[in-house]
Amino acid sequence: MFHLLLPCDPQGRLTHSLLPFFSQFGPVMTLTERGLRAPEEDCFLSLWRCGPFARLSAPHPVILFGPEPSFCQLSVPQDAVVVLGRDHPQARAFAAAHRLRLMDCSASPQASLTLSSLEQERAVLALQRSLVTLGGETVEPQEFFVEGFGAMNPEDLLCGCGVLLLCGKLPFACEKQKKG
């Protein structure tokens, strides 16, 4: 199981936006600092909405900072990855200070993952450099499509797809959908 930390999302906007999208790829467990919010049956991802002083010792966590910039003193393992959806100076500083891997998912031409096109029912994303998943697989630069993201805004979609790439769920799930 992979672990996604969502600090700086006190109202849960990001959690509520991403949960239905992630659930298309397998069972997702949601947690808050108060405890479990869903059963732990064969989940591929645990979504943990936490405060700025949370401590996580699980291996390979992904950290996706919420939209509200905040001072953050998370305690995370050295193999954590920060997914960055926009220029978020606090997230960049946190990643640099802790020597964590950073995955930029934005409209910037320099981003690791960016949008090539966006239609109502389908988006084409471009992975612009090789990426090593949390499972150790290498995904080469390529374009791939995603569907079923509903009314998600493009920033949340990019960040969600970045998390799914790191978990090894994209672009492989999309390729299976095309064949099936």
- In the chain, where are the structural domains located? 2-179
Helices and strands per DSSP (H, E), number in the chain: 4, 12
Question: Please, are residues 134 and 167 in contact by the beta-carbon 8 Å criterion?
Answer: yes
Position 175 scores a pLDDT of: 47
Kindly give the confidence (pLDDT) of every residue in the chain, 180 residues in length, as a single tens digit, with 9 standing for 90 and above. Answer: 788 888 767 677 788 888 888 888 888 887 766 554 554 567 888 888 776 667 777 777 888 876 555 556 778 888 889 898 877 777 888 889 889 999 999 888 889 999 999 988 889 999 999 999 999 999 999 999 998 888 888 888 999 999 999 999 887 555 444 444
Position 71 scores a pLDDT of: 56
pTM over 0.75: yes
Q: Which CATH architecture has domain 2-179?
A: 3-Layer(aba) Sandwich (3.40)
- Element spanning 20, H or E: helix 13-23
